[in-house]
Amino acid sequence: MIGSSIGIHFWILAIVLQIILWNTCQNFGKNYGVNEYPSTGYATFRTNIKLRRDRPILAFQLGDIHNAYNLFVNNELVRSVGHVTTSLKGSVPQWVPQFVVLDDTSEVLEITLQVSNFHHRNGGVQHAIVLGNVDYLLSVKESISLADLLLGGSCMVIGLFFFGMYFFYKKDKSTFYFGLFCFSFAVRVLIVGSRSLLIIMPWLPWEIAIRIEYLTLFLSVIFFLYFIYFSFRDQTSKLLVQLTSYIYIVIITGTILLPASVFTYFVIPNNLLLLGLIVYALNVYVKALRRKVFGAGWAIVSLGVLLVAVGLALSEYANLFIPSPILVSSAFLAFVFAMSLIFAARFGKAFSDVESLKSAADIQNHKISEQHDLIKDSIQYAKRIQTALLPSKKMIQEKLPNSIIYYNPQSVVSGDFYWYKYVENTNDVILAISDCTGHGVPGAFMSILGISSLDKIVSTNPNIRPSKILEQLNSEIRQKLNSDIDEKVQEGMDVIICRISLDTNSIVFSSALHKMVLIRNSEIKTYNGCRHFIGSHFKKGFKFLEHELALKKDDQIFMFSDGVYDQKGGDTGKKLYLKGLEEILFEMVNIPVSEQEMYLSSKIKNWQGTTEQLDDMLVFGWKVN
């Protein structure tokens, strides 16, 4: 038995009963002057208190007592927590803060406390037992609970907010670890402070509760470390983070697997690591501040607030003075809030940058819009020029009645073109169907080169044969494109040249990669061209082949670019292919020529469907009278 006595001052309406307890030398900050007792075992404490008759109704406020106790007042058991024993066998530890209203009106109170501990590194009374006015103690109890709920609830809400941020932007892992820190910190507050979770869940086993208490402590430290690392990666040592992680893996694993009498000692290395982490965090923040990393200033502020909050908690822990619970909770909440301002500073900077970029983009978009309008106007003007260079259908049909031209550029201007020349002294028509490299503006430039070159060649020699036209056209294009200097130049055109004699109804044609289809008496025949495009380098001795045909009445010939049969569509999204085009042309000969162009256009559109047009399309057809 160990006895002690304490005077009571009712003019402050509160009586603090500081019971001499047995403790361990390692119980930092809770030295009540008695360190010679072991941390495990059992003991009984007794004190007598003399009271006035006109005293108000009194109550006991009992905090943590490790691990089981019985409280007697005048030999009457008023509260029992856990199961007090004299050995490990049968001992049942429990942590539930108790508020006991005294019904005893005696002038002298004999208070007896039986305590036993076989499960924790610290035994006995961990917080002063308070005896005082019931109303006052209730208000203190409520303020402590309110402070813990405010801090814990606020941290959970902040944690959820940062989890949401991480969900929508997973590249920034610092938000994820900050959310984890807030959650683990919140759970620790609710299970350690006023033991709110244990009051709500008294059925929770002590072994689980104490593991949650220590795990949330260790996890909070490691989550805070990873928050620092992902927030200021350039200023943080990855090796240090990895080494610290390995240490905490061992600590956390031990906390899960080992008994409380062992893993509760892990708080000692944790405190040393936490102290080192705080010093290292300050070093990281200062480096980041010097490098003008956004949020570094608020990080230093948050660290300062953390030191204030820890100082307030330790002052109570060391019995220097007892700060208001609201003050302590507010300090920790201010720390979490200050940490969140790190993100606020970065997001503010990001939004500012976005606004600046948006303003710059608006200016660029305006310039681009102006340039687009100029380019659009230029392309429209180029279209008018290209259209002017192309012979009109009326001009062609004057000499070649029953002819059709299906001309469908992929863009505003086209790389496909058709060329026509009537040679009056021979009553011949020279016709070219060409597909230049590319489409759109590049193809249109090539088409202008082709048209001007054909004009020059035929004007110089009106009686020239188609094969010679191709040879000279190849020389002209290579010269204009400097192809003889740079053999890698691949620009040019596929073209078929035909010379039709209107007197004899005969045709002579020569082709570079283009085809011609002849349909006669329900039979179709396809003539292939040479496998060289205009603008390529020909081998020595190469000559373009010529075909000469005598045409008969109702014969129909077709010449076309590859953009027609290379178009994708149909049910499978495949190309039309030459066979598919030949089938359409074979159907066309059975309808009047005046309807053939519309028929062909309808067939191609139906095949194409919603598929994008891939290339320019050009088809020339002529039915012999």
Domain count, the chain: 3
Among candidate residues 109, 136, 163, the one where a domain is terminated: 136
* Same domain, yes or no: 242 and 314: yes
Q: Is residue 493 part of a domain?
A: yes
Q: Is residue 209 part of a domain?
A: yes
For residue 261, the model assigns a pLDDT of 85
Q: Is residue 612 part of a domain?
A: yes
Q: CB–CB of 144/325 below 8 Å?
A: yes
Q: Is residue 45 part of a domain?
A: yes
Percent of the chain with pLDDT over 90: 34
- Nearest CA-CA partner of 491 in 442, 418, 426, 434: 442
3 state DSSP class of 490 = coil
Of 198-212, 249-263, 542-556, the least confident: 198-212
Tell me: the pLDDT tens digits for 159-197? 888 888 888 888 888 889 988 988 888 888 888 767 777
| Rounded CA separation 194/176 (Å) | 28
* pLDDT-based confidence at residue 251 (cuts at 50, 70, 90): very high
* Same domain, yes or no: 168 and 262: yes
Q: pLDDT averaged over the chain? A: 83
How many Cα atoms sit within 13 Å of 226 on the Cβ side? 20
Of 89-98, 245-254, 332-341, the least confident: 332-341
Chain centre to alpha carbon of residue 579: 49
3-state DSSP percent of the chain in helix, strand and coil, to 5: 50, 20, 30
What number is the average pLDDT over the span 339-364? 79
Task: Tell me which residue has tokens 């490790």.
Answer: 66
- Decide if pLDDT at 16 tops 80: no
What number is the average pLDDT over the span 258-278? 87
* Same domain, yes or no: 89 and 131: yes
* Same domain, yes or no: 346 and 417: no
Tell me: the pLDDT tens digits for 367-381? 888 888 888 888 888
Among candidate residues 80, 108, 136, the one where a domain is terminated: 136
Q: Is residue 373 part of a domain?
A: no
Range(s) of the domain holding residue 97: 2-136
Among candidate residues 136, 170, 193, the one where a domain is terminated: 136
Q: Which residues pair with 433 in a beta bridge?
A: 418, 496
- Decide if pLDDT at 565 tops 90: yes
For residue 484, the model assigns a pLDDT of 54
Of 283-297, 331-345, 405-419, 482-496, the least confident: 482-496
For residue 397, the model assigns a pLDDT of 93
* pLDDT-based confidence at residue 26 (cuts at 50, 70, 90): very low
Q: What are phi and psi of 44, to 5 degrees?
A: -125, 135
| Rounded CA separation 214/187 (Å) | 11
Which residues, at least 6 apart from 529, have a Cβ–Cβ distance to it below 8 Å?
494, 496, 510, 511, 512, 513, 514, 515
What does the block give as tokens for 253?
């694993």
* pLDDT-based confidence at residue 6 (cuts at 50, 70, 90): very low
* Same domain, yes or no: 247 and 329: yes
Tell me: the pLDDT tens digits for 469-501? 999 999 998 888 875 545 555 678 999 999 999
* Same domain, yes or no: 483 and 539: yes
* Same domain, yes or no: 45 and 90: yes
* Same domain, yes or no: 123 and 146: no
Tell me: the pLDDT tens digits for 124-150? 887 778 888 888 888 888 887 887 888
CB burial readout 303-340, b (16+ within 10 A) else e: bebbeebbebbeeeeeeeeeeebeebbbbbbbbbbbbb
- Decide if pLDDT at 1 tops 70: no
Q: CB–CB of 408/601 below 8 Å?
A: yes
What does the block give as tokens for 131?
């005896």
Q: Is residue 403 part of a domain?
A: yes
- Decide if pLDDT at 316 tops 90: no
What does the block give as tokens for 505?
């109804």
| Rounded CA separation 415/214 (Å) | 76
User: What is the full DSSP assignment across 156-182?
Assistant: HHHHHHHHHHHHH-TT-HHHHHHHHHH
What number is the average pLDDT over the span 452-470? 94
Tell me, yes or no, if the pTM score tops 0.75: no
Q: Is residue 365 part of a domain?
A: no
* Same domain, yes or no: 126 and 232: no
CATH number at residue 104: 2.60.120
What does the block give as tokens for 327?
């003050």
* Same domain, yes or no: 326 and 197: yes
CATH number at residue 518: 3.60.40.10
For residue 292, the model assigns a pLDDT of 83
Burial class (CB in 10 A: 0-12, 13-18, 19+), 61: buried
Q: How many CB atoms lie within 10 A of CB 377?
A: 10
**Residues in the chain, how many?**
625
For residue 365, the model assigns a pLDDT of 86
* Same domain, yes or no: 399 and 514: yes
Q: CB–CB of 45/21 below 8 Å?
A: yes
* Same domain, yes or no: 64 and 7: yes
Of 236-250, 323-337, 611-625, the least confident: 323-337
* pLDDT-based confidence at residue 18 (cuts at 50, 70, 90): very low
Q: Which residues pair with 69 in a beta bridge?
A: 81, 115
CB burial readout 221-245, b (16+ within 10 A) else e: bbbbbbbbbbbbeebbeeeebeebe
> Distance between terminal CA atoms of the chain?
134
Helices (H), 169-266: 173-192, 196-200, 206-231, 238-257, 260-263
Of 201-210, 423-432, 593-602, the least confident: 201-210
Q: Is residue 380 part of a domain?
A: no
- Decide if pLDDT at 32 tops 80: no
